[in-house]
Structure 1
Amino acid sequence: MPFTLATWNINSVRLREPLVCKLLEEEGPDVLCLQECKSPVEKIPLERFHALGYTHMVARGQKGYNGVAILSKLPIEDVGDKDFADLGHARHVAGRLENGVTIHNFYVPAGGDVPDREVNEKFGQKLDYLTEMRDWFHGDAPQKSILVGDLNIAPREDDVWSHKQLLKIVSHTPIEVDHLTDVMEAGKWVDITRQDIPEGLLYSWWSYRAKDWDEADKGRRLDHVWATPDISNAAHGSRILRDARGWQQPSDHAPVFATFDL
C-alpha cells in the first residue's frame, strides 16, 4: 500500500491549526510530521485533526518552544525519542507504521546568527546535536526508515538563492554542511527530495523579513525527506507546496511531500 508523507515546520500548531486543517483537507497526506509545534502534547488541538481522519499521533511537546508531532491516518506506534546534545528540548520523536517503516521526525537547532561556537553558544549546540545524530546512526544503523524534518541546513548550492552570499550565513556554512553530510553518511540516508528533483533551485523556507517573499524569492531548502537505501527506490512524487507560504498568517516554511510504495 502506498502512503504519502509530508513534513512541515508549522511555527505553532495552536496558532496555525486552521492551516494544518487546510493542508489535511486539500492535500490529504497519510502522515504529517510537524516541527516547532510550540505546545505541550496535551494542548495540541486534536479534535479537528481527528475529525479529518487523523486519529493517531505520536509527539513530544514543550511550552512555547520546539515540539515535534506525527499525525497519521494510519496506526502508528510510539518508538521513542532522543535528547541529542542533552539540550532538554523536544526536537525528536519516532513512530513505526504497521508496515514496519520507522519515521524519525527532527527539528534540528537553528544555530543563532553567528557561525562561530566560540561567541555563539547556539551554533555550538547545533553542531553538537548533529554530531550526536551522526554517532547514533553509526552505532545503530537504521533500516526501513524515513527521516524528515526541519534540519535547518540547506546543503547544496542550488538549495539557496545565492551560494556565494550565504557561505557565511548560518544554515549554509561549510561546517554545517559537512556535519549534515556526516549524518547522512552514518545512516546511509538518501535525500529523497533530490532523488526525485535532482536539478534546479529548490526552497522550502522564505524569511518573514522579506517585504514580498514571493517576488524576492530568497529561499533556502531547510526541510528534508530522507530514507534508508532499502526503501529509497520505493519513493517518488516529491514536491514542495510553495503556495502554503502565501496562506493567511503562514509559517515561514512550506510543506515537503513524498510518496512511498511500501
Structure 2
Amino acid sequence: MTFTLATWNINSVRLREALVCKLMTEETPDVLCLQECKSPVEKIPLAAFEALGYRFMVARGQKGYNGVAILSKLPITEVAAGDYAGLGHARHIAGRLETGVTIHNFYVPAGGDIPDREVNEKFGQKLDFLTHMRDDFHAATPKKAILVGDLNIAPREDDVWNHKSLLKIVSHTPIEVEHLAQAQDAGSWVDVTRQDIPEGRLYSWWSYRSPDWDAADKGRRLDHIWATPDIAGAAHGSRVLRAARGWEQPSDHAPVFATFDL
C-alpha cells in the first residue's frame, strides 16, 4: 500500500477550516495530522472533512489551546493519548492503521521566550516533555511507527535561517537540540524529511512578525516526520508546501509531506 501523510500546525482548525479543506482538495493526503487545533474534539468541523473523504478521526481537544488530530481517508483506531510531563495538555494522539502502522502526532510545547528553566517555567516544561518522550521510547521501543508533529525545535544548522544568530533563541538552543536528539535516539527514529532532502536550508515556519516573510525567508524547520527503521526505507517524496504559508489568513506553519510504500 502506498499512502501520503501530511503534518500541519493549523493554529485553530475552526478558524482555518477552509484552508484545511483547500489542502485536502488540492493535495489529497491520505492522512493529515494537525496540531494546535484549539478546539474541543466535538467542535472540530468533521462534517466538512468527511465530505472530502476524511471519514476517520482520532483526536484530543482543548478549548482555545493545544489540541491534536489525525484525519484519515484510511480506517484508523486510537491506541494512545499521552499526558507528557503531566501538564494536562492535549499534545499527543496516536492511531493505528489497518496495515499495523502506528502514527504518533505530537505538539511539543513552544517553551516561551527565555531559554532558562530557572526563570521560565515554560522552557522547563518543554525539556520535561522531551525527556518524557525519551523515556517512553526507551521503555517500549517503537516498531512500524511514524512520528509527526510540530516538535518546536529546528535541530540542524541548515534548519534555521542563521545558526549563530539563533543559538540563544528558543527552538534552536543546544540544550533543546540535545533533548530532541535523545528522544529521537531512544526510538531509533529516522528523520524522513532529511533522509529525502539531506542538504540545504529547509523551513516549515515563518513568523507572523515578518510581513515580507517570503522575501526575508527567516524560517525554521519546526515540523517533522520521523519513522522507525523498519519502515523508514519505504519513505520517499518528502516536501514542504511552502505556498500554504502565503494563503489567505494562513497558519505561520506550512504542511510537511512524506509518502510511504508499505
Amino acid paired to 2:237: G
Aligned: 1:36 with 2:14: no
Deviation of 1:225 after TM superposition, in Å, equals 0.1
Structure 2 CA distance for aligned equivalents of residues 47 and 178 of structure 1: 41
Structure 1 CA distance for aligned equivalents of residues 252 and 65 of structure 2: 16
Deviation of 1:57 after TM superposition, in Å, equals 0.1
Counterpart for residue 157 of structure 2: 157
SS of alignment partner, residue 95 of structure 1: strand
Counterpart for residue 216 of structure 1: 216
Deviation of 1:76 after TM superposition, in Å, equals 0.2
Structure 2 CA distance for aligned equivalents of residues 223 and 174 of structure 1: 18
Deviation of 1:212 after TM superposition, in Å, equals 0.7
TM-score (ref. length: structure 1) = 1.00
Aligned: 1:48 with 2:48: yes
Deviation of 1:136 after TM superposition, in Å, equals 0.3
Structure 2 CA distance for aligned equivalents of residues 211 and 150 of structure 1: 22
TM-score (ref. length: structure 2) = 1.00
Unaligned runs of 5+ in 2: none
Correspondences of 1:187-206 after superposition (within 5 Å): 187-206=187-206
Structure 2 CA distance for aligned equivalents of residues 52 and 185 of structure 1: 37
SS of alignment partner, residue 80 of structure 2: coil
| 1:203-262, Cα deviation, whole Å (9 max, x unpaired) | 000000002110110000000000000000000000000000000000000000000001
Counterpart for residue 227 of structure 1: 227
Amino acid paired to 1:213: W
Unaligned runs of 5+ in 1: none
Counterpart for residue 84 of structure 1: 84
Aligned: 1:96 with 2:96: yes
Counterpart for residue 168 of structure 1: 168
Runs of 4+ in 1 over 4 A off after TM superposition: none
Amino acid paired to 2:217: D
Deviation of 1:159 after TM superposition, in Å, equals 0.0
Aligned length: 262
Counterpart for residue 112 of structure 2: 112
Counterpart for residue 238 of structure 1: 238
Counterpart for residue 15 of structure 1: 15
Amino acid paired to 1:199: E
Structure 1 CA distance for aligned equivalents of residues 95 and 122 of structure 2: 28
Amino acid paired to 1:226: W
| 1:165-211, Cα deviation, whole Å (9 max, x unpaired) | 00000000000000000001000000000000000000000000002
Structure 2 CA distance for aligned equivalents of residues 227 and 220 of structure 1: 21
SS of alignment partner, residue 11 of structure 1: coil
| 1:37-81, Cα deviation, whole Å (9 max, x unpaired) | 000000000111000000000000000000000000000011021
